[in-house]
Structure 1
Amino acid sequence: MPALDVSRLWRAVPLLLATWLGGCSSFSYYSQLASGQLQLLAAREPVADIVADPARDAALRKRLALAQQARDFATAQLHLPDNRSYRLYADIGRPYVVYNVFATDEFSLDPLTHCFPIAGCVAYRGYYSLGGARGEAALQRQAGKDVFVAGIEAYSTLGWFADPILNTMLGWGDERLATLIFHELAHQRFYVKDDTAFNESYASFVEQEGTRQWRAARGLPPQDDSRSAQRDALTRLVLDTRQRLRTLYAQPLPASEMRARKAAEFERLRHEYRQLRDRQWPGDKRFDAWIDAPLNNAKLLPFGLYDQWVPAFAAVFRQVGGDWSRFYVEVERLGKLPAPARTQALHDLMPR
């Protein structure tokens, strides 16, 4: 997956080393998780040493120095964990740190989930090598599944280890690096097993509000939201398509007819996207490669998942008067509710 803006929609589900501490479905999967994480840990070096070393790349030193300002801001102003995470740097020599394999049945939008002792159930399997991810994807396709492989630029070990700034996080601008740090530290501050939508919406709100405050603290104007608006518009199209597919898959149709109507829905998505693009941002083709590539159920899974409850968390932040400490207390209260009550509480917080 090329590093387009759309990749932000699935970039930050925590992988968590503890997934392999409790055992996995195969020794080979266990081994690659262990090996990949240990290689990452071994590659770490203190950011302060790099910044102070004139022999190191000047551009890297400058970026890491600014990242440390954002890291200090995260602790001092956003009340995020004060630890060694993101005060270290690791160059792992590849564009993504892990590759997540999403899969669904041919006529379903429900992901194949994988459950682990501490991280809980997640809608993917993570691999440290692209080859491993492609091998898993091939096996799932042979079993008749819809499959999608997504490159992930960052993840959180939820405080089990000191997570480093990775070279995979440097492909974006300086502010993007700061937002990633805010997002991943939010996962360390609080995490709920088996509720990806809660975890990612909460971390996304911390990221967005943290970025707003980070810009204000440096005397910068509000962020240009045009690209976010484009991403949101694409997300709405995908969510509409997903709802139509869900309705379609509930019907008692022969497989051949279901397959034809499924293909028609994906062509409708492409058509509606092109109309939207040409009408609202002519000449901007940032999402063309994604929309023109093969589409299937699994490719739609991440959309909307990471910002579903962001307005609810924004409402919580307003209710506590913008006090970060009180905000986290309320987030923890919500997170400790039974799953149905938690969902209802978040729904009640959403704007009408």
Structure 2
Amino acid sequence: MPHCLSWLLDPPNPRWVPLLLALGLSGCSHAGYYTQLLSGQLELLQRREPVAELLADPARDPVLRQRLALAQAARAFASARLGLPDNRSYRLYADLARPFVLWNLFATPEFSLAPQTQCFPIAGCVAYRGFYEQNRARGAAALLQQQGLDTYVAGVEAYSTLGWFDDPLLNTMLHWDDQRLAAVIFHELAHQQFYLPGDTAFNESYASFVEAEGLRQWRAARGLPVPADNRERQREQFGALVLASRARLETLYASGQSEAELRHGKAVEFERLRAEYRQLRAREWAGVGRYDGWIDSPLNNAKLLPFGLYEQWVPAFAKLFRQVQGDWPAFYARVKGLGELPSAMREQALKNLQAER
């Protein structure tokens, strides 16, 4: 029988049935892709260890124990003060012995910024395909390039299974500074609190607001000053630069020009983006740029896709939080209410919140 059906008929563990069912419902035509998703997730689950046991073991690496202790403090704060789920997620640890947990593959047509989407019964449609092995992601990208598509492969250091499993802290996360480590825990638990299948901008903007506000409250509770570095400002400025370039490309692709003219205009736009980046770096960043590697490597439509998804509706969720006077349960209830609206009504409600002062 087809391998994907055998997963459903003879699953190795009842707790994995939701994931296996999701994969089986997605069809057998891409069984190889779903097989690697299954094996990658199962490997991650099998490598988990309770953090409490690691912290109590003096033979374990003291640096690892220090990082895990910090993560547990942030984890406790997330549930006690931010109203986020109180479960075993991020109270376990897994060392995957690699720098990324998976690699996401983004793809677009040559003259469009519309992503190729991957749809799942639980998560809905997303603008990428995930691979647990970098070579698999690169191989899939090469096949799409042969079809004339733009592709981009990006490493991912953390993700959420939306509460289907007890997500562990990963070795890929522990090299971050204290603030980012806490922030990502808040972000991923926000996805467990509420997730709207098929609306990436809504989900990521909401989780990004919870991350930012949660981190502000975390700093205040621990008596920490606002970071003196300008990394957040640089990230915002760079994102704005890329989004402006993407908007110009969208106008270009809608212009009705010939393929040769579109190809030339696309190349010109990417050179403009590089030039504007260098000007920004020299003018405001004292010549030191965090994004040199990204800007100097090949640019295409797919590489621009991740920008904007995490920030588009953040001001709207900030306004919503102020409307409920910082009450987290009331905020989550309002978020859920927005998520239950039809797509067009939800977008209009977010625009209205965004426009309010």
- Shorter-chain TM-score bucket reads over 0.9
Quick one: structure 1 residues 331 and 224, their matched pair in 2 at CA, closer, same or farther if it must change by over 3 Å?
farther
| Structure having greater relative contact order (Cα 8 Å, sep ≥ 6) | 1
Q: Which deviates more from structure 2 when the two are superposed, residues 218-227 or residues 117-126? A: 218-227
- State the shift of 1:212 in Å: 0.5
Aligned equivalent of 2:262: 258
Question: Of residues 113, 119, 123 in structure 2, which corresponds to 1:115?
Answer: 119
Q: Does 1:239 align with 2:239?
A: no
Quote the Cα distance in structure 2 between the aligned partners of 1:339 and 1:222.
37
Residue of structure 1 in register with 2:338 after alignment:
334
Separation (CA, whole Å) in 1 of partners of 2:284 and 2:159: 33
Count of residues in Structure 1 that have an aligned counterpart in Structure 2: 337
Quick check: 1:168 aligned with 2:164?
no
**Structure 2 counterpart of 1:83, one-letter code:** N
Pairwise CA distance, 1:17: 4.4
* 1:119-176: CA deviation from partner (whole Å, max 9, x where unpaired): 0000000000001100110011000000000101111000000000000111211221
**Structure of larger gyration radius:** 2
Q: What pairs up with 1:177-192 in 2 under 5 angstroms?
A: 177-192=181-196
SS in 2 for 1:285: coil
Give the 5 Å matches for 1:201-280: 201-224=205-228, 226-280=230-284
1:285 CA displacement: 2.2
Note if 1:20 corresponds to 2:18: no
Give the structure 2 partner of residue 126 of structure 1: 130
| Aligned positions of 1:76-155 closer than 5 A | 76-155=80-159
The one of 316, 319, 326 equivalent to 1:322 is 326
1:122/1:194 contact within 8 Å kept: yes
Paired amino acid for 2:133:
S
Deviation at 1:27, TM superposition (A): 1.3
Q: What's the offset of the Cα at 1:21?
A: 4.4
Indicate yes or no: 2:209 matched with 1:198. no
Higher mean displacement: 281-290 or 101-110: 281-290
CA distance in 1, matches of 2:19, 2:331: 28
Note if contact 1:17-1:37 (Cα within 8 Å) is conserved in structure 2.
Answer: no
- In the TM superposition, residue 223 of structure 1 has moved relative to its aligned partner by 3.5
1:254 positional shift: 1.5
Q: Could you tell me the TM-score, scaled by structure 1's length?
A: 0.94
Matched position secondary structure for 2:320:
helix
Q: Distance in 1 between matches of 2:67 and 2:37?
A: 29
Contact 1:154 1:169 in 2 (8 A): yes
Identity %: 65
- For 1:67 and 1:213, locate their aligned partners in 2 and report how far apart those are by CA, in whole Å: 16
Q: Distance in 2 between matches of 1:138 and 1:17?
A: 28
Conservation of the 8 A alpha-carbon contact between 1:98 and 1:129: yes
Change (3 A) 1:224 1:351: farther
Distance 1:335 1:67 in 2: 30
Does residue 65 (structure 1) correspond to residue 69 (structure 2)? The answer is yes
Tell me, yes or no, if the aligned pair for 1:146 and 1:297 is still in contact at 8 Å: yes
Label 1:225 to 1:206 Cα distance change in 2 as closer, same or farther (>3 A): farther
Q: What secondary structure sits across from 1:182 in the alignment?
A: helix
Equivalent position SS for 2:87: coil
Partner of 1:288: 292
The answer as to whether partners of 1:212 and 1:223 remain within 8 angstroms in 2 is: no
List, as ranges, runs of 4+ consecutive aligned residues in structure 1 with deviation greater than 6 Å. Answer: none
Aligned counterpart, 1:344: 348
DSSP-derived class of the 2:172 partner: helix
**TM-score, length-scaled by structure 2:** 0.92
SS of the aligned residue for 1:350 comes to helix
- 2:307 and 2:332 map into 1 onto residues whose CA distance is 26
Equivalent-residue separation in structure 1 for 2:300 and 2:287 (angstroms): 26
Residue 252 of structure 1, CA deviation:
1.7
Q: Aligned AA for 2:247?
A: Q
C-alpha distance 200-295 of structure 1, shift in aligned 2 (>3 A): same
Structure 1: gaps (5+ residues): 1-15
Amino acid at match of 1:23: S
Distance 1:21 1:185, change over 3 A: farther
| Letter of the 2:322 counterpart | R
Deviations 1:213-253 (A, max 9, x none): 00111111123462111111111111111111001101221
Q: Extract unaligned runs of 5+ from structure 2.
A: 1-17
Structure 2 residue identity aligned to 1:63: R
Residue 42 of structure 1 is matched in structure 2 by 46
> How far, CA to CA, are the matches of 2:166 and 2:195 in structure 1?
17
